[in-house]
Amino acid sequence: MGLQMFMTLSPWNWLLLLTALECSEASSDLKESATSTAQHVPNAWFAAASSEPDERISVFELDYDYVQIPYEVTLWILLASLAKIGFHVYHRLPGLMPESCLLILVGVLVGGIIFGTDHKSPPVMDSSIYFLYLLPPIVLESGYFMPTRPFFENFGSILWWAGLGALVNAFGIGLCLYLICQVKAFGLGDVNLLQNLLFGSLISSVDPMAVLAVFQEARVNEQLYMMIFGEALLNDGISVVLYNILIAFIKMHTFEDIEAVDILAGCARFVVVGVGGVLFGIVFGFISAFITRFTHNVSAIEPLIVFMFSYLSYLAAETLYLSGILAITACAVTMKKYVEENVSQKSYTTIKYFMKMLSSVSETLIFIFMGVSTVGKNHEWNWAFICFTLVFCQIWRAISVFALFYVSNQFRTFPFSIKDQCIIFYSGVRGAGTFSLAFLLPLSLFPRKKLFVTATLVVIYFTTFIQGITIGPLVRYLDVKKTNKKESINEELHIRLMDHLKAGIEDVCGHWGHYQVRDKFKKFDHRYLRKILIRKNLPKSSIVSLYKKLEMKQAIEMVETGILSSTAFSVPHVAQRIQRIKRLSPEDVESMRDILTRNLYQVRQRTLSYNKYNLKPQTSEKQAKEILIRRQNTLRESMRKGHSLPWGKPAGTKNIRYLSFPYSNPPSAGRDARAAESTDDDSSDPGVLSLKFSTHSRVASLQKRRQTQEVIPMRRLHRGGKAFNFGYQRNASQEEDVGAGRRVALRPKPLFHTVDEEYESGGESEEESSAVGSRWTADHGHSREHHKSHSPLLRRK
């Protein structure tokens, strides 16, 4: 069904396929003709080009060989991208199956066509291409987008599970398969222990990225998410290290020659390779962070620095036979923190998108290639081996999950429940990495390579299709603990305070605990690292950055109300009466609360917003655009109505009071500029800037008033809530008409009718309404505001 859907949905893919085939056909024609020129009489203009070089210039020439490789690679990538587009055109498809399924299907399709027409598949995969070009972007991306804090909070468990789990799986599967191979009836006698171990190591590398998407959607709890993420992050590295060491073993010795010393050396090597790789990565991360400190004048090359240093760390580590994967991961994690603060907003966006793009391209390529190589003659089907591989993969995953988590639960305050463990067990989806490793087995050392490849493919297909498609329903069915992480300023502050408190208490009782380690690192970071690595005068902390985000939102809200007020209050008698409003009916309260609870801050999920294939639409960009649009609307409005101040009404500026841009005092000029720059970067449009500046002036004018008030009147918050609501509707990728529907639904509520009437009866002066300061202390001073807060809703069509 999925296939059909795909076929109907993306005719472009077909077109592309045809193009690709035409081209490869042409190329084979070319080759044939080139080889056959000696014997046959050439009959086309090919001959003119190839066999008679000293003739006169031909009008039209074809030199496909010259461009063949880049041409085909380009076509492959395009095909992959179009497949993805097709996948996402139909909205429900991504919910039904992981993207990798579709990519594999496309691959199978292409493979079928290639096979049916007897073409050779293009050479996208070989060992050096995979390890040098395809793998690094994937690893870099997952390292870079790792949520740092929860990762390190669960660091012990992740290391324990991802590291030891991979080892247990590799050796368990390898040894068990070896036992199976000893059974004469299966005809596997020539597969020796090392080969089995190697196979175990590659088959145990899981790639649960597809699962993460499901998790994110189902909003599972953070620990579970981090476990899977950590596994995805570290697993590749560990498997590859193991794989390489075992390959080295197989190369060096025949099975009988291996002594205990070699095994010990192998273990030592394992550690050295891993730790060395991480150290390399950290060093390179710091270097690149340091360099970005000086790039503010050449911000165009900032992304380049980031990518090149990551890649360099990979290559340098590989040169020394250290683990490049771990190096590039560590490099990404290290530099992320500092680079993000150093580079300009634009570069930062570029880095993010480019990283996603690269990794998604290489993964797509691998998947499609996997599909292609499924169809063909290079398979050896051995029921016993394949079935037992599949069974052992599941059994050993179950064993390692339940055993390892049993142990680590002893040390955790929040143990993983059985449900969690089941999900982790079930998330053992094999992916591109596994296939690549199997595909790259050297044929000289593995006479039965075909068997291994087939078994790997079966495992991948089984896990990706069956487990990948069913894990979503399973998560929902098991009703796994939902996420407990929601972003809000209050929480962020409480967490901070709690952190410091805990560190302080640990200090007081003289115990050097977990939180002190973090505290110590933070202090070190603040005192030395940041001074060295980060440009000066950048006030940053996650609270501040979170705050910036909120501020952005607030700005929109402000503009929005600005428009609304300018439309709503443009009539000459802008008089509103400070009058007591009738009590809200319980239904109204209920609906408001409903709106609030459902829509507040849902847009910003920092931790769990990881998506393997896509960056979520950047809110700030959208917001900037939004601001721009609103701004233009306002201007148009005010032109028509003869207004001088687009949002000059107090209603528009009210919000600034609390979540204002705090840049109005002279000493902050530097930051001001910085902020302006960043806003500018978001969408390089003067509209945004002008918004900022007018905000300034408003803030400045409100500075004095703001000193006095210490309490927050409730009704402003109503409006705040409502505006958040709108913000949400904009930001979440909902259809606009849904939002409109809600507004329409909201409008006829009795509350607003009341408001409307009272509005008409209003008779206070403009002065009164702008005397903000006085209102804060007065008891009834807020009703007018309340009034305003709802009237926009009224006017809104």
Where in 153-172 is the site for other proteins (CB under 8 A)? 153
Give 58 or 597: the residue with its C-beta nearer to other proteins.
597
Per the CB < 8 A criterion, the answer to whether 173 and 142 are in contact is no
Give 270 or 547: the residue with its C-beta nearer to other proteins.
547
Give 253 or 531: the residue with its C-beta nearer to other proteins.
531
Q: Classify residue 511 by burial, with Cβ atoms within 10 Å: 0-12, 13-18, 19+.
A: exposed
Q: How far apart are CA 240 and CA 135, in angstroms?
A: 11
Give 450 or 671: the residue with its C-beta nearer to other proteins.
671
Q: How far apart are CA 328 and CA 234, in angstroms?
A: 11
The interface with other proteins within residues 56-115 (CB under 8 A) comprises none
The interface with other proteins within residues 195-214 (CB under 8 A) comprises none
Phi, psi of 206 (to 5 degrees): -100, 160
Q: Rule CB under 8 A: choose which of 31, 251, 580, 640 binds other proteins.
A: 580
Q: Please state the closest distance from residue 498 (CB atom) to other proteins, in A.
A: 5
Q: How many CB atoms lie within 10 A of CB 318?
A: 20
Q: Please state the closest distance from residue 472 (CB atom) to other proteins, in A.
A: 17
Q: How far apart are CA 70 and CA 61, in angstroms?
A: 19
User: Which residue reads 């760390």 in tokens?
Assistant: 313
Q: Please state the closest distance from residue 737 (CB atom) to other proteins, in A.
A: 25
Q: Classify residue 355 by burial, with Cβ atoms within 10 Å: 0-12, 13-18, 19+.
A: buried
Q: Rule CB under 8 A: choose which of 538, 639, 673, 744 binds other proteins.
A: 538
Angle between helices 99-116 and 2-9 (to 10 degrees): 80
Q: How many CB atoms lie within 10 A of CB 665?
A: 11
Is 662 in a helix, a strand, or coil?
coil
The interface with other proteins within residues 465-504 (CB under 8 A) comprises 479, 481-482, 484-486, 488-491, 493-504
Q: Is 321 left (phi over 0), alpha (psi -120 to 50) or beta?
A: left
Binding mask 599-638 for other proteins (x = CB under 8 A): -x--------------------------------------
Q: Rule CB under 8 A: choose which of 58, 148, 597, 774 binds other proteins.
A: 597
DSSP letter, residue 42: P
Return the closest-CA partner of residue 115 out of 374, 476, 293, 487.
Answer: 374
Q: Please state the closest distance from residue 589 (CB atom) to other proteins, in A.
A: 6
C-alpha torsion sign, points 165, 154, 343, 732: positive
Q: Rule CB under 8 A: choose which of 4, 297, 537, 733 binds other proteins.
A: 537
Give yes or no for residue 261 binding other proteins (CB under 8 A). no
Find the part of the chain contacting other proteins (CB under 8 A) among 122-130, 205-213, 307-315, 597-605: 597-605
Task: Show the tokens assigned to 43.
Answer: 């009959």
Q: How far apart are CA 515 and CA 508, in angstroms?
A: 13
Half-sphere exposure of 384 (CA within 13 A, CB side): 14
The interface with other proteins within residues 395-454 (CB under 8 A) comprises 413-414
Return the closest-CA partner of residue 144 out of 371, 300, 276, 339.
Answer: 339
Q: Please state the closest distance from residue 494 (CB atom) to other proteins, in A.
A: 4
Find the part of the chain contacting other proteins (CB under 8 A) among 178-186, 240-248, 278-286, 542-550: 542-550
Give 324 or 713: the residue with its C-beta nearer to other proteins.
713
Q: Rule CB under 8 A: choose which of 526, 636, 640, 753 binds other proteins.
A: 526
The interface with other proteins within residues 312-371 (CB under 8 A) comprises none
C-alpha torsion sign, points 269, 271, 276, 281: positive
The interface with other proteins within residues 550-579 (CB under 8 A) comprises 550-551, 554
Find the part of the chain contacting other proteins (CB under 8 A) among 68-76, 81-89, 558-566, 591-599: 591-599
The interface with other proteins within residues 659-688 (CB under 8 A) comprises 659-660, 662, 665, 667-668, 671
Q: Please state the closest distance from residue 410 (CB atom) to other proteins, in A.
A: 10
Give 356 or 698: the residue with its C-beta nearer to other proteins.
698
Q: Please state the closest distance from residue 407 (CB atom) to other proteins, in A.
A: 15
Q: Rule CB under 8 A: choose which of 129, 384, 581, 676 binds other proteins.
A: 581
Q: Please state the closest distance from residue 525 (CB atom) to other proteins, in A.
A: 11
Residue 206 pairs with which residues in a beta bridge? 430
Q: Please state the closest distance from residue 378 (CB atom) to other proteins, in A.
A: 50
Q: How far apart are CA 585 and CA 587, in angstroms?
A: 5
Q: Please state the closest distance from residue 79 (CB atom) to other proteins, in A.
A: 41
Q: Rule CB under 8 A: choose which of 143, 783, 793, 794 binds other proteins.
A: 783
Task: Show the tokens assigned to 686.
Answer: 């003067």
Q: How far apart are CA 349 and CA 344, in angstroms?
A: 9
Q: How far apart are CA 79 and CA 68, in angstroms?
A: 16
- Amino acid identity at 168: V
Q: Please state the closest distance from residue 738 (CB atom) to other proteins, in A.
A: 19
Give 306 or 552: the residue with its C-beta nearer to other proteins.
552
Give yes or no for residue 146 binding other proteins (CB under 8 A). no
Q: Please state the closest distance from residue 128 (CB atom) to other proteins, in A.
A: 45
Find the part of the chain contacting other proteins (CB under 8 A) among 136-144, 197-205, 596-604, 640-648: 596-604
Longest dimension (CA), the chain: 103
Per the CB < 8 A criterion, the answer to whether 287 and 240 are in contact is no
C-alpha torsion sign, points 684, 690, 696, 702: negative
The interface with other proteins within residues 502-521 (CB under 8 A) comprises 502-516, 519
Q: Rule CB under 8 A: choose which of 293, 612, 657, 784 binds other proteins.
A: 657
Per the CB < 8 A criterion, the answer to whether 601 and 487 are in contact is yes
Give 499 or 621: the residue with its C-beta nearer to other proteins.
499
Q: Please state the closest distance from residue 654 (CB atom) to other proteins, in A.
A: 11
The interface with other proteins within residues 707-746 (CB under 8 A) comprises 710-718, 720-721, 724
Give 212-246 as a 3 state SS string: HHHHHHHCECHHHHHHHHHHHHHHHHHHHHHHHHH
Give 127 or 597: the residue with its C-beta nearer to other proteins.
597
Per the CB < 8 A criterion, the answer to whether 468 and 429 are in contact is yes
For residue 76, give every residue at least 6 positions away whose Cβ sits within 8 Å of its Cβ, in sequence order, or none: 20, 122, 124, 365, 368
Per the CB < 8 A criterion, the answer to whether 168 and 400 are in contact is yes
Give 643 or 788: the residue with its C-beta nearer to other proteins.
788
The interface with other proteins within residues 751-780 (CB under 8 A) comprises 779-780
Size of the site for other proteins (CB under 8 A): 89
Q: Please state the closest distance from residue 425 (CB atom) to other proteins, in A.
A: 21
Give yes or no for residue 786 binding other proteins (CB under 8 A). yes
Q: Please state the closest distance from residue 663 (CB atom) to other proteins, in A.
A: 8
Q: Please state the closest distance from residue 405 (CB atom) to other proteins, in A.
A: 16
For residue 353, give every residue at least 6 positions away whose Cβ sits within 8 Å of its Cβ, in sequence order, or none: 615
Give 26 or 538: the residue with its C-beta nearer to other proteins.
538
Q: Please state the closest distance from residue 740 (CB atom) to other proteins, in A.
A: 23
Find the part of the chain contacting other proteins (CB under 8 A) among 32-40, 124-132, 582-590, 687-695: 582-590
Per the CB < 8 A criterion, the answer to whether 199 and 174 are in contact is yes
Element (H, E) at 59: none
Give yes or no for residue 592 binding other proteins (CB under 8 A). yes
Return the closest-CA partner of residue 252 out of 242, 239, 266.
Answer: 266
- Amino acid identity at 452: F
Q: How far apart are CA 254 and CA 252, in angstroms?
A: 7
Give yes or no for residue 26 binding other proteins (CB under 8 A). no
